[in-house]
Amino acid sequence: MESLPLIVDSHLDLGFSALQINRDLTLPAASVRVQDTVDTQQNYGSCTVTLPELRSGRVGIVCGTVMSRLDPDDRGTRTGMYHQQQCHGVGRGHLAYYQALERAGHIRILHECSELDELATLWQRAEVSADGLMGPPIGLVLSMESADPILDPDQVPEWHSLGLRMVSLSHYGTSTYSHGTATEGGLLPPAEPLLKALRAAGILVDVTHLTDQAHWELMDIYDGPVCASHHNCRALTPGQRQLTDDMIRSITERDGVIGTAFDSWMLDPGWQRSLLACEQQSGATLETVVDHIDHIAQLTGTSRHCGIGTDLDGGFGTEQAPRDLNSIADLQNLLPLLTDRGFTDDDVTGILSGNWLRLLGEHWKDTL
């Protein structure tokens, strides 16, 4: 039987899931669901992402976030903080969790291009047990959702030495550096010196969660490489959280990659955020995910800029994911859907892993 292809997921909040939701990610998803309380189920949904699920689906390399933001009104995620120092502490906690997983042999934090290439090759040849409990370590590219854990630009080299390779300036609300999702406004004064420091360190800038104004201000003042780790198309799903066609072009013109997200809020125009996920059924399927990938490919004339950035378990679970997805292991079901849509074998390889590996590899080579 032909082996399944390697998949790279450009956005997973693993530290948040383990520490804020309190999940043991070394177990299969079915075991975690049994452990979850009713409160956890209602607020975060049914678990879809654990290390065995990643291995079972051959999602062998992921961008794992440290995630905390300034948001004193946050009563749900437990990552919204009053002060930036708290955000730094939460972010370091997420990093400490990844370091503990690495110490136990579950993951490998990737610092250099050679390590990225080595682990990609390992996964392309690896044997994995059907339950995902046996197999290679998951490669983790350390990323940051909202730059609030970075206290100031002078701290960027320190974060880089710890493995940080991708940063978004904002999340929900207004960060130290920029307005973000569900707000109006642009970049804030600390943004420009931070961007210069990120450029100098060779850390990829992620435009996800920027407001429209902030997106264009960033593109105007920043000439470095960019990506969108978990973003969908506004032409298909209306709303500020999605990218307009012009925004998509601005990213792809810099040879960036856009990871399609799996949150039904960003896939199903009929999704009602005012209702609990368990009170409604998503109209989105994996075919809907392919719609967004195909839109980017048709708009730009190439699949070179398309990737996967699921955001699964990023505050939602199976109930708010495509309804034909039980766990992240089901990402392999994208392969025939992409092929049926007319993508070539090379296109599919690029979408599932190659485009992210190229962008990360080329950028790291410039800075080593």
97-131: string of b/e by CB count within 10 Å (b at 16+)? bbeebbeeebbbbbbebeebeebbebbeeeebeee
Distance of CA 258 to the CA centre of its chain: 10
pLDDT per residue as tens digits for the range 96-119: 999 999 999 999 999 999 999 999
Distance of CA 241 to the CA centre of its chain: 14
pTM (predicted TM-score)? 0.97
3-state SS of 25-91? CCCCHHHHHHHCCHHHHHHHCCCCCCHHHHHHCCCCEEEEEEECEECCCCCCCCCEECCHHHHHHHH
Q: What is the CATH number of the domain that holds 328?
A: 3.20.20.140
C-alpha to C-alpha distance for 11 and 124, rounded to whole angstroms:
21
In this structure, is residue 158 part of a structural domain?
Answer: yes
pLDDT per residue as tens digits for the range 183-221: 999 999 999 999 999 999 999 999 999 999 999 999 999
Alpha helices (H) along the chain: 14-19, 29-35, 38-44, 51-56, 84-103, 113-125, 156-161, 191-201, 212-221, 245-252, 286-300, 334-340, 345-349, 355-367
Q: Which amino acid, one-letter code, is at 144?
A: M
Structural domains of the chain, count: 1
In this structure, is residue 330 part of a structural domain?
Answer: yes
In this structure, is residue 2 part of a structural domain?
Answer: no
**pLDDT given for residue 335 in this prediction:** 98
In this structure, is residue 1 part of a structural domain?
Answer: no
In this structure, is residue 3 part of a structural domain?
Answer: no
Mean pLDDT, the chain, as a whole number?
Answer: 95
In this structure, is residue 221 part of a structural domain?
Answer: yes
Containing structural domain, residue 134? 8-367
In this structure, is residue 256 part of a structural domain?
Answer: yes
pLDDT-based confidence at 79, cuts 50/70/90?
A: confident
Query: In the structure encoding, which two tokens stand for residue 19, read together?
Result: 């520490």
Bridge-partner residues for 65, per DSSP? 143
